[in-house]
Amino acid sequence: MAGTPGRDPRGGPGICYLLGSLMAGLLAPGAVAFNLDVMGALRKEGEPGSLFGFSVALHRQLQPRPQSWLLVGAPQALALPGQQANRTGGLFACPLSLEETDCYRVDIDRGADVQKESKENQWLGVSVRSQGPGGKIVTCAHRYEARQRVDQILETRDVIGRCFVLSQDLAIRDELDGGEWKFCEGRPQGHEQFGFCQQGTAAAFSPDSHYLLFGAPGTYNWK
C-alpha cells in the first residue's frame, strides 16, 4: 500500500474501519468508503488531521501472550516531545476490540539530532506491513531528512527516507530492529542520485518472508 504524498487528504475524519478481513482504511475528501459487513465492523479513531488510517496492517503477536493487532499509520500525527519537530507522524497499535479509542502510539523514534537530521513532516507511518504471525513489522517515514553542515554555507538536506523494523511484540529486541534502515545514507548525495530516495514510500516482506522490500521512488530522480 503506497501513499501518494502529492494529494492533500487533510481534514479527513481520521477513522479507520476493519471489516472482517477486508479493510477500507483511508477516508479522505474525494474518496468514499462503505461497509460490506455492517454487523462485524470494527471502528478505531485517531486524532483529526493526523491521517490516521493512511496505512493499515493486521498483525498477530505470539509472545509473551497471543494478541491480535490492527496497526495504523498516522503520518501527520503530532511530534513527540524531544523530536524537535511539530509533526512527525507515528504508528499506532489497536487491539481487535469493540472499543474505538484504545489505540496506543508505538514507542519508536524518540529524540532527534538536529545537527544531522530533521523529522519535521517526515511522514512516519506512511507504510506499515507485518511479516505474519510472530514475525517482524516494518513502518517507514519516506520524508525523513538527513542533514550535513547545519547552519553553514554548504548545508545539505537530503530527503532519504527511513524505515523502522520491530519485533513481533512491537518492541525493539534484536539487531534487525530499530530505525537504522536507511539505505540511501552515505551514498552519493544530490537529488539526481540518492539524495531524494524517499525510502519507504512503500514497504513489504517478500512472499517467502526472507527479504524486506522498500520502494524508493526518488532514487535517481529527474534523470
Ligand X SMILES: *[C@@H]1O[C@H](CO)[C@@H](O)[C@H](O)[C@H]1NC(C)=O
Residue ranges in contact with ligand X by CB under 6 A = 84-86, 120
Nearer Cβ to ligand X (86/115): 86
CB of 87 to ligand X, least distance (A): 8
Q: What is the DSSP letter of 195?
A: T
Calpha distance 20→41 (Å, rounded):
7
Contact assessment for residue 160 and residue 116, using Cβ atoms and an 8 Å cutoff: no
CB of 8 to ligand X, least distance (A): 17
Please report, to the nearest 10 degrees, the dihedral formed by the alpha carbons of residues 83, 130, 102, 172 taken in order. Answer: -50
Calpha distance 18→24 (Å, rounded):
7
The CA angle 203-208-210, to the nearest 5 degrees, is: 65
Nearer Cβ to ligand X (45/120): 120
Nearer Cβ to ligand X (61/83): 83
Count Cβ atoms below 10 Å from residue 19 Cβ, excluding itself. Answer: 17
Q: Is 75 left (phi over 0), alpha (psi -120 to 50) or beta?
A: alpha
CB of 88 to ligand X, least distance (A): 10
Q: Kindly report whether the peptide bond that precedes residue 64 is cis, defined as omega within 30 degrees of 0.
A: yes
Nearer Cβ to ligand X (36/114): 114
Nearer Cβ to ligand X (119/136): 119
CB of 120 to ligand X, least distance (A): 4
CB of 118 to ligand X, least distance (A): 7
